[in-house]
Amino acid sequence: FSFTASHFWTAWITIGAIVAHVGAKAPITGRALRRLKNRPRLSEADPALGTSAEGPHDGLDRRSFLATVGAASGVLTLVTVGQTLPGFRRLALLAPRDPAARPVNRSARNAGVVEAATSPDYRLRVEGRVATPLTFTLAELRALPGQSAELPIACVEGWSYSARWTGVRLRDLLTMAGAGPDAEVNVESLEAHSPYRVAFVNHGQAHDRDTLLATHLDGEPLSEDHGFPLRLIGPDRPGVNQTKWVTKVVVL
Amino acid sequence: MTSGTHHPVPARGRTFWIGAAAGWALILYGLRGALHHSLDTRPSQLARFWIGGALAHDLLLAPVVLGIGLLARLVPRRRRAIVQRALIICGPLALFAYPQIRGYGHALRNPTSLPHNYIANFFLVAGAVIIAVAVTSRAKVNDREHPAD
């Protein structure tokens, strides 16, 4: 089954179960808290439990057990949360990714784009509802006025990192092509077989000053795995929609 | 206080029924969506995943945990709480680390996928947990045996 669709609909089922559970237990909890000062000893409330449920124990008592369960959650959090919170990166010893290493979900080899991305025949095309369709080589793109933006790659897997991206503003390309002021676009990748090879960019994001077609990452040319020769990067977009190996911008 | 005081179960009030109605509405919405998008959700596979997970928990995991808990009672009384604390923390830690250690989900030709030495890191974290448990448990014993005046 598809992870995204199944996750989405199962989430609604889970939310509903939690709502029903809270509705059932909240009154009971409220009554118990209101009676807290006058609550009976456990053995008096239910003689079947006897005195073994309270009093000194050879092992953990209830309070210690609950505290230890909390500590277990804390340890699991500490060894993974560094994927998202930079201050904890050194502790993320069991995290599936290391954000400091600028991870990728899909390498250029796995995407099957190495030959096309590094080919001297590579071109970026701007077409669709434009007055002047445009075509650029990589050298021509790099010669355009470059802008930089500090933006995150935030993956739905739970890891993220911020980096400095440099490239040409998407809105500048749209202006050069004579696209309308309310233009929305599809950005297409060299990757042929992926559900995310085409990413929609709405009007607001297409004209955002920080939405770039990046050629550089942290001052260095993009590596193949990071989307060489061109990567879409913009604010408020999940990682899968920060399209790598961009070859076409189609104005809708 | 009389022994065996019986507190009658209150009738289910408004909060219960509002929660039940809203909760079941959301559950039915989710079920309807999962069935309507059956090409993506594959309801029979999804059901096997959820039911299989519940059965694995009830028939495998829970008995194993209960068995380990019973074995923990063989530990001398003075050490029992320490062992229990260490097991409660390291058990879920081991379960969590298992897929990484086995390399499940590792993407070939992607050096950023599962980049750590997870076996070494698991033992490092487990060792730190055991030391922390031993130290804090020892501190609690000292407090009990030598309470501050």
For the record, the structure tokens of A123 come out as: 């071109």
**Contacts with B33 from chain A: Cβ below 8 Å:** 8-9, 12
Cβ under 8 Å to B: A residues 184-243: 225
Tens of pLDDT, residue by residue over A9-46, are 999 999 999 999 999 999 888 888 888 777 766 666 66
What's the number of CA atoms in the CB half-sphere (13 Å) around residue B39? 0
CA A49 → CA A44, A117, B39, B95, distances in Å? 9, 71, 51, 33
Give B129's contacts in chain A (Cβ within 8 Å): 75
CA distance B139 to A66: 19
From the list A108, A247, A138, A130, the residue with the least C-alpha distance to A187 is: A247
Q: Is the dihedral of CA A132, A190, A153, A223 positive or negative?
A: negative
pLDDT, tens digit (0-9, with 9 covering 90-100), for A42-65: 666 666 655 555 555 578 888 899
Q: Are A22 and B21 in contact (CB under 8 A)?
A: no
Angle at which helices B62-72 and B77-102 cross, to 10°: 150
In whole angstroms, give the CA distance from residue A134 to residue A179: 11
Is the N-terminal amide bond of A229 cis, ω within 30° of 0? yes
How distant is the Cα of B119 from the closest Cα of chain A, in angstroms? 9
Chain A contact set for B107 (CB, 8 A): 105-107, 110
Closest of A100, A118, A120 to residue A109, by C-alpha: A118
Cβ contact B34–A104 (<8 Å): no
What is each CA distance from A11 to A7, A42, A156, in whole angstroms?
6, 37, 15
Residues of chain A with C-beta less than 8 angstroms from the C-beta of B53: none
Inter-chain contact A94–B5, Cβ cutoff 8 Å?
no
What pTM did the predictor assign? 0.78
Select from B5, B18, B92 the Cβ nearest to the Cβ of A44: B5
Is B121 within 8 Å of A94 when comparing Cβ atoms?
Answer: yes
Q: With pLDDT > 90 as the criterion, what percentage of chain B qualifies? A: 69
- The count of other CB atoms within 10 Å of the CB of residue B138 is 11
Distance, in Å, from the CA atom of A242 to the CA atom of A227, rounded to the nearest integer, reads 10
Give the residue among B118, B89, B92, B91 at the shortest CA–CA distance from A95. B118
Predicted pLDDT of residue B1: 43
Q: How many helices (H) and strands (E) does chain A have?
A: 8, 10
Complex ipTM above 0.85? no
pLDDT in tens, B35-83: 999 999 999 999 999 999 999 999 999 999 999 988 988 999 888 999 9
Partner-chain residue, chosen from B1, B42, B73, that has the shortest CB–CB distance to A40: B1
Query: What pLDDT sits at residue A218?
Result: 94
Flag whether pLDDT at B85 surpasses 70: yes
Of B5, B30, B116, which has the smallest distance from its Cβ to A9's Cβ?
B30
Three-class SS state of A232: strand
CA–CA–CA angle A106, A108, A112 (5° rounding)? 105
